[in-house]
Structure 1
Amino acid sequence: MGGYGVMADDESLDYSVHEAWNEATNVYLLVILVSFALLMNKRKIMRIFSLPPSVDRPSEPSFYDSLQKVRLRQQLEMYSLARKCDQQQQQQSDSVQLSME
């Protein structure tokens, strides 16, 4: 009776299983090495596949720029409201001082 990995007729080792295993591990190692190289050179690869920068600015502003403008507008509105409140309080205090005299 032949055991595992031994041919029954001539008692020599069956190397087809070992060859297939070696080829599979070689393929897996190659895939791991290529994946690692791609991760290390991600910037270079992204630069290859990215669009070239255009000379003129796009017609629509970017989302970040529009957020900055909205925030700046809100800050200006709050500043103008605070100035109005300060002026009203100053006018009220002036009128109180005039009536006291």
Structure 2
Amino acid sequence: MAGYGAMAGGAGMDYTVHEAWNDATNVYLIAILLSLGLLVYARRNKRKIMRIFTVPPTDPTPEPNFYDNLQKVRLRQQLDMYYIARKYEQQQGQSDSVQLTVE
């Protein structure tokens, strides 16, 4: 019966259970204090912590596709040709009207 808090050899109380309980409560108290400290730190430094866990963008400016560039060039050429044709038509229309007014 010496290990259960009764008389140990008749000399006094056996405090091994009490010491274990005290050690366990000290460990739990330290764990609780550390978790509270981490919680307070996390609230104050939320941006720093979130910066650690966010993934940076892999490639901010991806290389443009060759076919996309080619389509843009063709579109630009078509627009230029349309602009030149409209300008030519306007000049032809003006010269016709000028000829009509001159005659």
Which range, TM-score by smaller chain?
0.3 to 0.5
TM normalised by structure 1 equals 0.42
